[in-house]
């Protein structure tokens, strides 16, 4: 119990103190016109109130991520609390802040554009492909999952439910941001928070107390903590998907000082939600073994439903079902919207011309909508396996992009480069060990991952040396007497 309460307090203190440190290092200027005004188009660039943008950002980045991922991560025991707190404050929230504020500073640019500017054209080409693939996988997974649930509780077939969900995703991705998203999503975001707070309070009345911190691995399947925990719990700690969502809200901010509340703040709230559901998973079923048995029967959705009904009664069950249906849909549609915006940026850069966005939105959505519809018809679990590693690769690249932004502007880059080095170690070792990767022996995977990490570290040091030479060669500007 003490560990759980302390973790919540750490997240709050982290926001109050470290978010201001990050903001100070980045450097904000409220006198600078934001893209919401300079590029206002009634579609994507639309000024909105910060609190509304914050709730939309929370829903965009969260969905069922901090619920399902945290429950699966709870199998490792209280060590998951450490990853959520440290990852959220020093990696995830920094990642979200820089992805949003750098987009704002560069005219509402999408994530691949930022990568190209600070990591080079080859990195941009690669990350554009990876990012769009991630958007397609996320949209497909979050179309199939709610469609399956709706078909199981209604007379409608899975195909009919799939088409209904898919049509909604298309409309939400095409219409102006202040229509469906701006009007409905703050309400859905409030539901997400209400569910978490209600479960958080209810946990104090569970028969089994919330376990305190232990560094032991309590996973019943004896799965290694490193690097699996850091990929299992992404939303709530750090998730690359967020860097594709932050530009949506960056195009709506009225001033730069709102970025800390919207981007860093939403991530901390997501961290709190993840802590609550991780604790609920560890506690409700008695131990991690009981949780694993529950997951084997009903999956994460069944676990959420059982905890919610037992804690909050019929009303809780309704909220759980609503959440499991609505939350993934609200993530899927913004994934489609992000991919559409990425294609728009790419076409603009290739043609060197601005085009009538309202007249071409429907056409831009087709190249990503068709594979989403196709993939949504295959096994959901198969899709989700590939989302995890791709997601954390994107997060790692965004942190390196933020680090190089700070390096080139002669600012304190370690707030981005240290978590970037950490996440590089995670994804390098994971790709060799994971079943969806090379599925190699654990020891060999760690060795190969370490070698790859050293290569990346050497690259970064070389960039630091190169930038120092540039600074040393700059001609100082002298003031006239």
DSSP string, 297-353: HHHHHHHHHHHHHHHHHHHHHHHHHHHHHHHHHHHHHHHHHHHHHHHHHHHHHHHTS
Q: Look up residue 247 and give its two tokens.
A: 């530009």
CA separation for the pair 281, 210 (Å, rounded): 10
pLDDT recorded at residue 1: 77
- What is the dihedral angle through the alpha carbons of 287, 314, 184, 277, rounded to the nearest 10 degrees? -10
Query: Tokens 């190169």 label which residue?
Result: 466
User: Is 248 among the domain residues?
Assistant: yes
Dist CA 99 CA 247 (whole Å): 7
Residue 200 confidence (pLDDT): 86
Residues 6+ apart with CB under 8 A from 212: 1, 2, 3, 78
8 A C-beta contact, residue 53 and residue 36: no
Distant-in-sequence, close-in-space partners of 405: CB < 8 Å, separation ≥ 6: 98, 102, 114, 118, 416
- Residue 394, in any domain of the structure: no
Give the DSSP H or E segment for 381.
helix 380-408
Residue 298 lies in a domain: yes
For the record, the structure tokens of 59 come out as: 């829903």
Q: Is residue 335 part of a domain?
A: yes
d(CA 47, CA 183): 14
Q: What is the pLDDT of residue 140?
A: 82
The answer to whether 301 and 147 have CB atoms below 8 angstroms apart is no
The predicted pLDDT at position 67 comes to: 86
CB-facing half-sphere around the CA of 134: CA atoms within 13 A: 28
Which residue, 474, 62, 456, is CA-closest to 274?
A: 62
Domain that holds residue 175: 2-383
Q: Six-digit token pair at 329?
A: 């849909």
Cα pseudo-dihedral 318, 319, 321, 327, rounded to 10: 160
Residue 249: name the closest of 368, 337, 346, 356 by CA. 337
Which among 317, 256, 231, 213 has a CA at the least distance from the CA of 108? 256
The closest alpha carbon to 223, from 387, 419, 396, 79, belongs to 79
Query: Could you tell me the CATH number of the domain that includes residue 338?
Result: 1.20.1740.10
Q: What CA–CA distances, in Å, run from 16 to 88, 219, 238, 342?
A: 13, 33, 19, 33
Burial of 278 (0-12, 13-18, 19+ CB in 10 A): buried
Contact 148, 301 (CB under 8 A): no
DSSP per residue, 44-60: S-----HHHHHHHHHHH
Residue 441 domain flag: no
C-beta separation of 185 from 257 below 8 A: no
Q: Please state the domain count of the chain.
A: 1
Contact between 137 and 390 (Cβ < 8 Å): yes
Query: Does some domain include residue 96?
Result: yes
Q: How far apart are CA 414 and CA 394, in angstroms?
A: 19
Q: What is the pLDDT of residue 306?
A: 86
Phi, psi of 299 (to 5 degrees): 70, 180
Q: Which long-range contacts (CB under 8 A, 24 or more apart) does 16-19 make?
A: 18/89, 18/90, 18/93, 19/93, 19/97, 19/260, 19/264, 19/265, 19/268
Residue 147 lies in a domain: yes
Other beta carbons within 10 angstroms of residue 255's beta carbon come to 18
Distance in angstroms (rounded) separating the CA atoms of residues 363 and 349:
18
- Give the residues of the chain that fall short of pLDDT 50: 477-481
* pLDDT score, position 88: 98
Asked, for residue 466, whether it belongs to a domain, the answer is no
Q: Which helix (H) or strand (E) holds 259?
A: helix 258-259
Number of H helices and number of E strands within the chain? 20, 0
Look up the pTM and report it: 0.90
């Amino acid at each position: 119990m003490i560990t759980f309460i302390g973790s919540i307090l750490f997240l709050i203190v982290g926001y109050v103190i470290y978010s201001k440190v990050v903001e100070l290092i980045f450097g904000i200027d409220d006198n600078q016109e934001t893209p919401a005004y300079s590029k206002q188009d009634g579609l994507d660039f639309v000024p909105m109130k910060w609190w509304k943008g914050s709730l939309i950002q929370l829903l965009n980045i969260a969905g069922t991520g901090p619920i399902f991922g945290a429950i699966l991560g709870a199998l490792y025991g209280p060590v998951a609390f450490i990853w959520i707190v440290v990852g959220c404050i020093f990696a995830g929230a920094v990642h979200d802040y820089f992805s949003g504020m750098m987009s704002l500073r560069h005219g509402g640019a999408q994530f691949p554009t930022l990568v190209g500017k600070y990591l080079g054209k080859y990195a941009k080409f690669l990350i554009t492909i990876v990012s769009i693939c991630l958007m397609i996988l996320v949209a497909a997974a979050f179309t199939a999952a709610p469609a399956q649930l709706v078909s199981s509780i209604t007379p409608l077939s899975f195909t009919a439910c799939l088409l209904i969900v898919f049509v909604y995703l298309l409309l939400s991705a095409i219409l102006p941001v202040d229509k469906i998203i701006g009007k409905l999503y703050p309400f859905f975001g409030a539901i997400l928070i209400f569910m978490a707070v209600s479960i958080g309070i209810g946990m104090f009345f569970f028969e089994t107390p919330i376990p305190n911190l232990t560094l032991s691995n309590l996973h019943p399947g004896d799965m290694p903590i490193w690097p699996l925990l850091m990929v299992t719990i992404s939303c709530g700690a750090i998730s690359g998907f967020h860097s594709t969502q932050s530009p949506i809200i960056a195009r709506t901010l009225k001033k730069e000082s709102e970025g800390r509340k919207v981007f860093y703040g939403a991530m901390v709230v997501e961290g709190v939600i993840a802590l609550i559901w991780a604790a609920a998973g560890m506690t409700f079923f008695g131990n991690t073994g009981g949780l694993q048995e529950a997951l084997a029967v009903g999956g994460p959705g069944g676990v959420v439903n059982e905890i919610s009904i037992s804690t909050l009664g019929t009303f809780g069950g309704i909220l759980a079902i609503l959440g499991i249906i609505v939350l993934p849909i609200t993530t899927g549609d913004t994934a489609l919207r992000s991919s559409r915006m990425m294609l728009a940026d790419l076409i603009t850069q290739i043609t060197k011309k601005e085009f009538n966005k309202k007249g071409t939105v429907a056409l831009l959505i087709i190249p990503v909508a068709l594979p989403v519809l196709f993939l949504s018809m295959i096994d959901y679990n198969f899709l989700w396996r590939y989302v995890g590693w791709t997601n954390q690769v994107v997060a790692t690249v965004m942190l390196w992009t933020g680090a190089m932004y700070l390096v080139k502007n002669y600012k304190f880059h370690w707030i981005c480069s240290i978590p970037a080095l950490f996440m590089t170690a995670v994804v390098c070792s994971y790709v060799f060990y994971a079943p969806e990767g090379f599925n190699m022996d654990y020891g060999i995977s760690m060795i190969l991952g370490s070698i790859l990490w050293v290569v990346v570290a050497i690259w970064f040091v070389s960039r630091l040396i190169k930038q120092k030479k540039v600074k040393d060669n700059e001609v100082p500007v002298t003031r006239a007497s």
